[in-house]
Chain A
Amino acid sequence: MIKNKKSIPYYFIIPALLITVLVHYFPIFWGIFLSFKKIDMKNFSKFMNAPLTISNFIDIFKQETYLLAIRNILLFVAITIPVTYIISLFIALYINRKFAFKSIIIWIILLPYITPDTVVYSMFRYMFTTYTGIVNQMLLVLRIIDKPLFWLKGASQIWPIIIATIWKSTSFGTLILLAGLENIPDYIYEASRIDGANIWYRFKYITWPLLKPVSYTLLLVSIIWNFYAFNQFYVLLGPFGPDHYAIVPTVLIRQTAFFGFNIGLASAMSTLLLIVVLIFTTIYFKVQQKQEAEIW
């Protein structure tokens, strides 16, 4: 027992280490490797023989859909994140006080976050159906529109997705921001009240600066999250996916690989996405180190 004491740590570590190598690092490098190969229907069974090329990466930019996908995801991120942030900040500020049934109300606010994605986005899918959906019905009753809109088809199909995403991520945003607000000590507010600061000055000079680390974390996490959003597109627009109005990189990768059966090209796309996400991740870590913000 004493003899091989040195090897003991490795008994504990090795299973997880093996798994990490096997299911993380091997696939990552395998994916990068695949992106340098031309793999399609014809040579799928013996793709290892195919030569290494960079033609996949060139092909990506020849494709109009990829550029469209990038445009769509940028639009998606640029709308969902600020709107979600503003709504969650508002709600968090609103409920950051003592009142009856607070824990029940927070429970309700957290529901969308804990509800499975399939369920959340199915709800929205059937709220936005053209002839039987409640959204069209409400708009008709309020006389905002005079004939039912085709939400999930054509150019408007990204809007239900954006609305559903905002609804779902508001819940998480509120949770994080509320935790941040609760960490701001009361005596600072009391001191400012004695100094005669009004509500706007209290927000501007106390809440906002002290909430900054939490906000940074939240924003970067949501950017990374939304950058490879997939579930909402899959559930709201069906397994065969969106038209080019709402195609995004993740969906495009899946379509290219499994409907177009061009696995090499799809791998190249996911390698590019990986690079983009890693850039954001590096920023995230830099910011986190600087702010020493703890999210858990």
Chain B
Amino acid sequence: MVKKSNIHKIKKILLWTLFWLGLFIILLFFIIPYFTMLMGSFKPVEEFMFATFGSKESPPSFLPHRFTFQNYAIVLFFSGAAIKCFVNSLKVSIGTTILTLSFGILAAYGLSRFYFKFKSTYKIALFFTQMVPSVSFLLPFYIIYYVANKHLHIPLKETHIGLILTYTSFSLPFAVLMLTKFFNSIPRDYDDQALIDGCSRFTALFKIIVPVSMPAIYTIGIYSFLISWNEILFASVLTSRNTRTVSVGLLELQNPAYIMAGCVLSAIPILIIFSYYRKYCISGMTGSGLK
């Protein structure tokens, strides 16, 4: 009897160990590249440039032979470009978020609370735009901005405004559709009550509906922030040296060691957002689906 239960116990422990071993391998699969990046960012420049195979002193390795914070210092304090890129990215991302949210909330409220002609047509049209690959917008936007700059003297090409408009066009359809869905789940009695108490439609929206739907608004906000922080294709075409965003600007640093340090720095804000607002990030990113 005692023996049997012992065998059971051993079996259990063995299975447990095996399970965690497998899990450990899965985690290694995901962590190794990050580890390489982090260690790479601590490597001195020479090690990145001249590490060679077969040499006893400095073969390429995971761990730096000599730890240094030089790369971070250079990226942060001595190359003006990196900081500028961060600032540009922040401007563009925050601009996109604000624009998406303001248009999105208004449109979603209209879609969920009123009946008007062509309502479903508009919804389908929005759905459709989410499916269009972003590259099909590249040349039209480029030419439109070029013409606007040259003939109409509206500074859209190579400015933040142009980039914000572009990214808003990516995030707006999803924002409207998701917010409409969320607003539909809020009872109309809320609005009616506010209207009876003498609110206008707008104050009802911003005093009653918006506070209630904060989760959805967080999701949309984070989603549009991430989209504009991460986008590369348009940023590489529609920006000049002064308006580079982080996702493109990073790649223009002179040395791999600096790029690694820059990568760590540029991932940090995203990771902080992700850790705090994980729920919203996930629902935003899975919902986005296509862009």
Interface residues of B in 22-52 (CB under 8 A from A): 22-23, 26-27, 29-31, 33-34, 36-37, 40, 47-52
Q: Is the interface of B mostly helix, strand, loop or mixed?
A: helix
Residue in B53, B102, B248 whose CB lies within 8 Å of A131: B53
Q: Does residue B221 face the partner (Cβ distance < 8 Å to A)?
A: no
Taking a contact as CB atoms under 8 Å apart, the answer to whether A239 and B251 are in contact is: yes
Write out, one digit per residue, whether chain A residues 1-18 have a CB within 8 A of any chain B CB (1) or not (0).
100000011111101110
Does A114 lie within 8 Å of B271, measured CB to CB? yes
- Contact of A257 (CB < 8 Å), options: B103, B138, B232: B138
Tell me if A267 is interfacial: C-beta within 8 Å of chain B. yes
A94/B51 contact (C-beta < 8 A), A119-B267, A277-B133 known: no
Q: Which of A132, A134, A175, A253 contacts B135 (CB 8 A)?
A: A253
A123→B37 contact, CB < 8 A: yes
Q: Is A169 an interface residue (CB 8 A)?
A: no
Q: Are A23 and B271 touching (Cβ within 8 A)?
A: no
| Given A257-B139, A295-B289, residue A126 in contact with residue B266 (CB < 8 A) | no
Q: Which of A271-286 contact B (CB under 8 A)?
A: 271, 273-274, 277-278, 281, 284
Q: Are A270 and B135 in contact (CB under 8 A)?
A: yes
Select B33's contact among A11, A123, A129, A176, beta carbons within 8 Å. Answer: A123
In the complex, the chain B residue whose C-beta lies closest to that of A23 is B169
B140 and A27: CB pair below 8 A?
yes
Residues in B neighbouring A112, C-beta threshold 8 A: 30, 33
Interface string of B163-176 (1 = CB under 8 A from A): 00110110011001
Q: Is A263 an interface residue (CB 8 A)?
A: yes
CB of B159 within 8 Å of the partner chain: no
- The segment from A61-69, A74-82, A101-109 that touches chain B is A101-109
Considering the chains assembled together, what is the distance between the CA atoms of A26 and B140 in angstroms?
9
Distance in angstroms from A296 CB to nearest chain B CB is 3
Within 8 A of A (CB), among B97-112: 102-104, 106-107, 109-111
Please, which residues of chain A bring their CB within 8 A of the CB of B132? 24, 28, 274, 277-278
CB distance from B106 to the nearest CB of A (A): 5
B125: chain A residues at CB < 8 Å are 20, 24-25
Identify which of residues 213-270 in chain B touch chain A, using a CB-to-CB cut-off of 8 Å. Answer: 226, 229-230, 232-233, 236-237, 246-248, 250-251, 256, 259-260, 263-264, 266-267, 270
For chain A, the bracket of interface size reads 35 or more
In angstroms, Cα B50 to Cα A66, docked, is: 38
Q: Could you list some 17 contacts between A and B, CB below 8 A?
A: A19-B103, A19-B169, A23-B165, A23-B172, A28-B129, A111-B34, A112-B30, A116-B246, A117-B230, A118-B247, A122-B260, A127-B36, A132-B60, A134-B61, A175-B286, A224-B133, A273-B136
Known: A11-B106, A296-B287. 13 other contacts (CB 8 A): A8-B114, A20-B126, A27-B141, A112-B33, A117-B230, A118-B250, A126-B260, A134-B62, A175-B286, A253-B138, A270-B136, A281-B131, A284-B131
Seen from chain B, the residues whose Cβ lies within 8 Å of a Cβ on chain A are 19, 22-23, 26-27, 29-31, 33-34, 36-37, 40, 47-53, 59-62, 102-104, 106-107, 109-111, 113-116, 122, 125-126, 129, 131-144, 150, 165-166, 168-169, 172-173, 176, 178, 200-201, 226, 229-230, 232-233, 236-237, 246-248, 250-251, 256, 259-260, 263-264, 266-267, 270-271, 274-275, 278, 281-283, 285-287, 289-290
Q: A-side interface residues toward B, CB under 8 Å?
A: 1, 8-13, 15-17, 19-20, 23-28, 30-31, 34, 45, 91, 94-95, 99, 105, 107-120, 122-124, 126-127, 129, 131-134, 136-137, 140, 148, 167, 171-172, 175-176, 179, 221, 224-225, 227-228, 230-231, 234-235, 238-239, 249-250, 253-254, 257-258, 263, 266-267, 270-271, 273-274, 277-278, 281, 284, 295-296
